[in-house]
Structure 1
Amino acid sequence: MRGAFSLLESCQIPCTRFLSTTFRFSRGCYPMQRPIKHNTLCFCRNVQTFTREVVKASYLSTPQTKPSKHTDQPSEKVESIGAFQKLPMVMPSVDILQSALRKAKRVLPTKGIANIAKRERNRGAKQLDALMKELAIPLRGYLENFPKRIYLHPYERSLIELTFGAGHYEEVLKKVDALRKKVVSVGKEHASLCAQSLSKREAEERLNEGLEKLQEIFKREGQAVDNLLYIAKILRAMPVVDLEMPTLCLVGAPNVGKSSLVRLLSTGKPEVCNYPFTTRGILMGHIAIDYQHFQVTDTPGLLKRCDEDRNNLEMLTLAVLSHLPTAILYVHDLSGECGMSPSDQFMVYKEISKRFGDHLWLDVISKCDLLKESPVVFITEDGEADHLELAKYRKIGPEGAIRVSVKNEEGVNELTKKVHELLMAQMGRISSKSVQDSVQVT
């Protein structure tokens, strides 16, 4: 002991404090206290401390580990694409309530209770507890299995925001969690009251009161569960995109013939109608070339306006181009039948080609059978008639563009060949990127 006190005195701590050392033996504890006074300066800022325990006349060190800085932070990571297909099946709120009531009413009191009042309050408390759990457990499962938006792939994050609006997904999950907490709180409260009943009649009254209260809460706020069911239904129906599979994305103004080309080139069967914005979302098809599989996406049309004025359908197209590794098949309609002038199409084309110029690219002029007739002339085209590049675009479209007519199958073979070459090049780009990523990881 004298050596231990000498060691502490050598630390030169300028204060008076009591050292309390406790030796633990198999029979009792013996505290020893001794005042130590120091008036000298301290030269060491940090003193490492440790504890030792006496066990059978030997010292065993007990290391004191510092808590990790990240213990309170979630260990979740960014999900790979395809999280929507892993969403749990959500039951309608009415079905959850009816199932919970049936199971709760089948709960019996604990066997062996002879006193009627005790048996009744035991039954009531157990039934209320069972109903509370049957309502809360499914809600907790939904909250645990619906991914947080911040951990989703950027493409799927954009789909949620553009489909349901900013913040709606999080708001619905928040309401489901609030409903779960309220059910647990009210259920525990009424189960406790029922367990404190003094008579059989009082126990029955508190049981009925608790059942009615839980039903009232779930019926009034169960709409949050139904909203979550709707979200899950919509998200699960979203097309699955494979990031490792080369993808061809058809882009252009509304009603230029993108959907018709998707039906022609792939297994996709989008709706084809002669009016703008027929495509209301991302539609997926597939192409098989020499036992290799490729994806083809049909996207909503883009209008001539800034991003702040674009609707959610247009933003969905930009999200595909921004977050997915796609090759672009840009479709032009110089006939004027689509309802958007070639001049406006040219402006949108220049903007998209500048923004996504790093993508592999192929230009197609659709409805070329109509170009043999006199094209529609728009008044808006006269203002820039002296622009050489625009004038050239009105006549022949972009340089190197393929002219195609789905109606008489003109240029279809050439387009198919070019699309296959484009997809094979895209596959080579994806493979080289995967190799680079693996090298960086190692």
Structure 2
Amino acid sequence: MIFEDLPTTPTSEELIDKAFSRAARAGKAKGGLEAQQSMLQTAANIISDNLENVVTAWPDFEYDAHPFYYELADAILEIPDAADADSGVDALRKSLSEVMWASRKAREIHEEYQPKLRKTDIDTARKHRKQAFARLADIVEQVEDDLLWINEARNALRDLPEINPDEPTIVVAGYPNVGKSSFVNDVTNARGETASYPFTTKGIGLGHFERDHIRYQIVDTPGLLDRKPEERNQIESQAVSAIEHLADCMLVVLDPSGECGYPLASQLELRDAIAAQFEDVPVFTIANKADRADRWDAAAEDEYDHAMSVETGENVEGVLDAAVEAIGYEPELPFEE
């Protein structure tokens, strides 16, 4: 996952203390003008390099981040009150840009003052070096809020459970208690495997299975795709937009018996809303509890693509096979001459 190796971002105070303490040690190792030059070079390099490393540790959201992770970050990151930004990712980009500016300014200060420390008396050199230190500290303090925000973003994103957007993925949707989680657990090794995201009331169910040596990912999204779009808040809606980039096939599970607590008409309304949002991928309507077909709402007869019973195992593999066929995933093979 592209965020898991993000390092801790130093605070401005930590970075200034680190730079100046290292500079003091460097100065003690030398004497005279050379000591002042070494102190300035050490402090400027530490500040510039550390600030640059803060920026380069992050992926380029435009080119390196899969749209799933781009939208996911946008859903999770809250815009700071003082930020002039349209989205969480936009705010993060602006903070990273400010930090890179500070990195360049540190180098410019070094280049400006280093000549002043040559061919002068020691007292003047010390005076110039202290001036340079004051300006270096001021530059770091100017991006104090940006450093704090970047570290908050890092903490929000780095521990997210991994969902691989490059694997062919089936997303399972439908009202609670229709059998989604049981289906995911039945066809994968997902029992007990959940991915906790901050925008879901329950952990997202995540599992995997193989067909013809190809690994497929199957995802259940309680708290997101088990409610109508108008009932989702802004963050949840944006999270669903992220899942749009993830899904290669949608399975909307119905309980035609209504034992789930929701009438079939409401379930079909949710199905239609999901199908409208995921119009670019195959969407199958799956009627669960086929073993209780005698209790089904008569209106279900023409509304589903496949029927199954997770409880008895009836046609569960058939549903999975239909999804795999609809995805039609073909792995990239090495070029052969």
With normalisation by structure 2, the TM-score equals: 0.71
Q: 1:103 — aligned with what? A: 22
Distance 1:418 1:360, change over 3 A: farther
CA distance in 1, matches of 2:58, 2:302: 47
CA distance in 2, matches of 1:154, 1:234: 18
Q: 1:92 — aligned with what? A: 10
Q: 2:299 — aligned with what? A: 392
CA positional deviation for 1:164: 2.0
Q: Quick one: which amino acid aligns to residue 422 of structure 1?
A: A
Task: Say yes or no: does 1:141 pair with 2:40.
Answer: no
Task: Say yes or no: does 1:422 pair with 2:334.
Answer: no
CA distance in 1, matches of 2:47, 2:145: 14
CA positional deviation for 1:132: 1.0
Q: 2:83 — aligned with what? A: none
The equivalences for 1:148-163 within 5 A come to 148-151=60-63, 152-163=65-76
Q: Quick one: which amino acid aligns to residue 76 of structure 2?
A: T
Q: Quick one: which amino acid aligns to residue 329 of structure 1?
A: L
Task: Say yes or no: does 1:123 pair with 2:35.
Answer: yes
2:227 to 299, 303, 315: 303
Q: 1:28 — aligned with what? A: none
Contact 2:23 2:40 in 1 (8 A): yes
Distance 1:84 1:176, change over 3 A: same
The equivalences for 1:25-424 within 5 A come to 83-84=2-3, 88-93=6-11, 96-108=15-27, 119-151=31-63, 152-164=65-77, 166=87, 167-189=90-112, 191=114, 198-200=121-123, 202-215=124-137, 217-219=139-141, 221-238=143-160, 239-241=162-164, 243=166, 245-253=167-175, 258-268=180-190, 269-270=193-194, 277-279=200-202, 284-288=206-210, 292-299=214-221, 300-301=224-225, 303-305=227-229, 311-321=234-244, 323-324=245-246, 326-332=248-254, 335=258, 342-356=264-278, 359-365=281-287, 392-393=299-300, 398-402=303-307, 404=309, 410-411=311-312, 413-414=313-314, 416-424=316-324
SS of the residue 1:414 aligns to: coil
Contact 1:110 1:122 in 2 (8 A): no
Sequence identity percentage: 18
Contact 1:254 1:277 in 2 (8 A): no
CA distance in 2, matches of 1:285, 1:233: 25
CA positional deviation for 1:176: 1.6
CA positional deviation for 1:134: 0.8
Contact 1:271 1:278 in 2 (8 A): no
Distance 1:128 1:415, change over 3 A: farther
Q: 1:64 — aligned with what? A: none
SS of the residue 1:150 aligns to: coil
Q: Quick one: which amino acid aligns to residue 171 of structure 2?
A: C
Distance 1:424 1:372, change over 3 A: closer
CA positional deviation for 1:398: 3.2
Q: Quick one: which amino acid aligns to residue 7 of structure 2?
A: M
CA positional deviation for 1:261: 4.0
Q: 1:16 — aligned with what? A: none
The count of aligned residue pairs is: 316
CA positional deviation for 1:349: 1.1
Deviations 1:59-97 (CA, angstroms, capped at 9, x unpaired): xxxxxxxxxxxxxxxxxxxxxxx6546x65344335544
Question: Taking CA–CA contacts closer than 8 Å with sequence separation of 6 or more, which of the two structures ends up with the larger relative contact order?
Answer: 2
Contact 1:121 1:194 in 2 (8 A): yes
Q: Quick one: which amino acid aligns to residue 172 of structure 1?
A: S
Q: Quick one: which amino acid aligns to residue 410 of structure 1?
A: E
CA distance in 1, matches of 2:229, 2:282: 24
Q: Quick one: which amino acid aligns to residue 297 of structure 1?
A: V
SS of the residue 1:106 aligns to: helix
The equivalences for 1:6-25 within 5 A come to none
CA positional deviation for 1:213: 4.6
CA distance in 2, matches of 1:392, 1:313: 31
Q: Quick one: which amino acid aligns to residue 421 of structure 1?
A: D
